[in-house]
Amino acid sequence: MSAPARRLSVSVNPVAIAGNQPGSPILGASSPPSLATFGSPPPLSGLSLSRSAQGSRTSASAFPQQQQGKALAPFPVVDAPVKILLLENVNTAAVDLLKAQGYAVEEIKKALGEEELINKLKEGNFQAVGIRSKTKITAKVIKECASLLVIGCFCIGTNQVDLLAAAKAGIAVFNSPFSNSRSVAELVISEVIALSRQLCDRAREMREGIWNKVSKGCWEIRGKTLGIVGYGHIGAQLSVLAESMGMSVLYYDVIPIMPLGSAKQVETLEELLGAVDFLTLHVPELPETTNMISKAQIDLMKDGAYLLNNARGKVIDIPALVDALKSGKLAGAAVDVFPHEPASNGPNFGDALNEWSSALRSCPNLILTPHIGGSTEEAQSMIGSEVGSALISYLNLGSSQGAVNLPSLTLRPILEDSGARLCFIHQNVPGTLKIVNGVLEEFQVSKQSSDSMGDVAYLLADIVGVTEKDITQIYEAISSTSNNIATRMLF
Q: DSSP characters for 272-301?
A: HHTT-SEEEE-----TTTTT-BSHHHHHHS
In whole angstroms, what is the distance from residue 384 CA to residue 155 CA?
9
Whether 91 contacts 381, CB under 8 Å: yes
Tell me the C-alpha to C-alpha distance, in Å, between residue 268 and each of 14, 159, 274: 44, 27, 11
Distance CA 448, CA 332 (A): 57
- How far apart CA 478 and CA 421 sit, in angstroms, is 13
Given 202, 233, 371, 488, the catalytic residue: 371
**Smallest Cα–Cα separation from 423: which of 130, 75, 8?**
75
Handedness of CA 91, 229, 335, 217 (dihedral sign): negative
b/e map 183-198, b = 16+ CB within 10 Å: bbbbbbbebbebbbbb
What is residue 190's three-state secondary structure? helix
Q: Is 322 helix (H, G, I), strand (E, B) or coil?
A: helix
Active-site entry in 144, 186, 341, 378: 341
- Catalytically annotated residue among 132, 182, 202, 312: 312
Residue type present at position 214: V
Q: Which amino acid is at 294?
A: S
What is the mean pLDDT for each group of 10 consecutive residues in the chain (491 residues)?
34 33 32 38 32 32 52 74 96 97 96 97 97 96 97 94 98 95 97 97 96 96 99 97 98 96 98 99 95 98 99 97 98 97 89 95 97 95 97 97 97 93 98 96 96 98 96 97 96 92
pLDDT at 107: 98
pLDDT at 30: 34
Angle at 182 between CA 179 and CA 187, to 5 degrees: 125
Does residue 340 carry a catalytic annotation?
A: no
Task: Give the separation between CA 198 and CA 193, rounded to whole angstroms.
Answer: 9
Residue 55's CB is within 10 A of a number of other CB atoms, namely 6
- 371 annotated active-site: yes
pLDDT of residue 74: 80
Indicate if 220 belongs to the active site.
no
Half-sphere exposure of 20 (CA within 13 A, CB side): 14
What are the chain's domains?
1-180+376-403 (3.40.50.720), 181-368 (3.40.50.720), 414-491 (3.30.70.260)
Per DSSP (E only), the strands in 8-56 are 50-51
Region at 158 (left for phi over 0; alpha for psi -120 to 50; beta for the rest): alpha
Say what the pTM is: 0.79
